Amino acid sequence: MASRRLRVLGIDPGLTRCGVGVVDVAPDRSAQLVHVGVVRSDATAAIETRLAAIARGIRSVLEEHRPDVLAVERVFAQQNRHSVMGTAQASGVALLLAAEHGIPASTHTPTEVKAAITGYGSADKRQVQTMVARVLRLDELPKPADAADALALALCHAWRGGAPQASATGALTPAQRAWADAERLARR
Amino acid sequence: MASRRLRVLGIDPGLTRCGVGVVDVAPDRSAQLVHVGVVRSDATAAIETRLAAIARGIRSVLEEHRPDVLAVERVFAQQNRHSVMGTAQASGVALLLAAEHGIPASTHTPTEVKAAITGYGSADKRQVQTMVARVLRLDELPKPADAADALALALCHAWRGGAPQASATGALTPAQRAWADAERLARR
């Protein structure tokens, strides 16, 4: 299906709340909200049960909305030490599901997301949320913050052209190829 | 199948090399090697492709050897910063696969593993490997180190009785229940 838009699933990974947002982005960079939500897991459950709940939620979005690409926040060890391992594990699950659904994945840092959305890498959360709502023509700011962050990630991915995954071989990553293909189609 | 032995799959998580080891442990704590190996992924591939390769490797061990429980090394943010996020992501994948195969999972710290295997939490790698080889009556030390670490994790889990997963509710974790059940059967 040679569609002229790129459908991106953004994931703000987390164990307690995992933000998921799907947007359609046209070659002129205009964007439309397709889906937004939060996948939760029971904080008292065993870690494997929690990851399975996150996987189920992401899978259902993948199957219902069939995105072209998945974008996940890149997690750093320097971040909040208490929850960072759970966040990394949830991001691993999201990336695995992308591969298993045959779609490319891409990771973006919070600074990259802020810069892509607001033009300013040190923007605060509220600025990012305001821009996301404006771009998607939403009446209200998306809530909770994890959902808004997932939409911001998805928009960031589309607007950056899936470029950040520098491959060790210098070749295009799957995400870069997907975007390049979408752009080529759009120019026809 | 009311078997009198506990079959444990130990996983030393990693993206480049993920150690997998399966042991059967009897109620008298004697142990037998069932399988040992390393799942690798191409360091130049995209992260989602790498995690999918790790998942395929772990899945094939789960399906071939049908362990009762999966034990993974617990990853800390303080560890080697360069690779810790990939390690955490691989551990998330391993834990997810446990849940999806309907078996309990358990995590153990390196110190817990060393203490369980050698009686000494600051033991060096060589001591641990020597003990693993002795316990499993192997002619050689298991290689590479990731494979030996996976066997050590599996033995640690069985010998510690799957006890370390303190649940927030105070109830037994699935791993604790599995072990308690195995012990009860053994006493009959």
Residue B175 is predicted with a pLDDT of: 55
Q: How many CB atoms lie within 10 A of CB A111?
A: 13
Q: Would you list the domain boundaries of chain B?
A: 6-187
Residue A75 is predicted with a pLDDT of: 84
B6-187 under CATH 3.30.420.10, yes or no: yes
User: Could you tell me the pLDDT band of residue B75, with boundaries at 50, 70 and 90?
Assistant: confident
> In B, which residues are within 8 Å of A88 by CB distance?
75, 84-85, 88-89, 92
Closest residue of B to A90, CA-based?
Answer: B92
Residue A72, min C-alpha distance to chain B (Å) = 11
Name the percent of chain B lying above pLDDT 90. 68
Contact B99 A51 (CB under 8 A): yes
Residue B15 is predicted with a pLDDT of: 95
Closest residue of B to A80, CA-based?
Answer: B77
pLDDT averaged over every residue in chain B: 86
- Annotated catalytic, B12? yes
Measured in whole angstroms, the distance separating CA A101 from the mean position of its chain's CA atoms is 15
Which candidate in B24, B68, B73, B112 is catalytic?
Answer: B73
- Mean pLDDT is lowest, of A89-93, A139-143, B31-35, for A139-143
Residue A169 is predicted with a pLDDT of: 34
- Annotated catalytic, A149? no
> In B, which residues are within 8 Å of A102 by CB distance?
none
Residue A82 is predicted with a pLDDT of: 67
Which candidate in B24, B112, B146, B149 is catalytic?
Answer: B146
**HSE-CB of A60 using CA atoms within 13 angstroms:** 11
What are the C-alpha distances in Å from A103 to residues A95, A175, B79? Answer: 10, 8, 31
Residue B106, φ and ψ in degrees, nearest 5: -150, 145
- Annotated catalytic, A112? no
b/e per residue, A13-35, with b = 16+ CB within 10 A? bbbbbbbbbbbbbeeeeebebbb
ipTM above 0.85, yes or no: no
> What's the pLDDT tens digit per position in A156-180?
999 987 543 433 333 455 555 555 5
Contact B48 A98 (CB under 8 A): yes
Name the percent of chain B lying above pLDDT 70. 81
- Selecting from A48, A98, A168 the residue whose C-beta is nearest the C-beta of B95 gives A48
Distance in angstroms (rounded) separating the CA atoms of residues B4 and B187: 10
> What's the pLDDT tens digit per position in B96-143?
999 999 999 999 999 999 999 998 888 898 999 999 999 999 998 888
> In B, which residues are within 8 Å of A52 by CB distance?
96, 99-100
Examine the pLDDT at B2 and tell me if it is beyond 80: no
Examine the pLDDT at B188 and tell me if it is beyond 80: no
Residue B25 is predicted with a pLDDT of: 96
> What's the pLDDT tens digit per position in B146-178?
999 999 999 999 998 754 343 333 345 555 555
Examine the pLDDT at B17 and tell me if it is beyond 80: yes
Please give the interface size between A and B, counted as residue pairs whose CB atoms are below 8 Å apart: 101
Residue A165 is predicted with a pLDDT of: 40
Residue B1 is predicted with a pLDDT of: 45
Residue A177 is predicted with a pLDDT of: 55
Average pLDDT of the segment spanning B179-188? 47
Strands (E), A80-175: 105-108
* Contact criterion met (CB below 8 Å) for A144 and A38: yes
Residue A2 is predicted with a pLDDT of: 47
A46 at B interface, C-beta within 8 A? yes
b/e per residue, B95-123, with b = 16+ CB within 10 A? bbbbbbbebbbbbbebebbbbbbbeeeeb
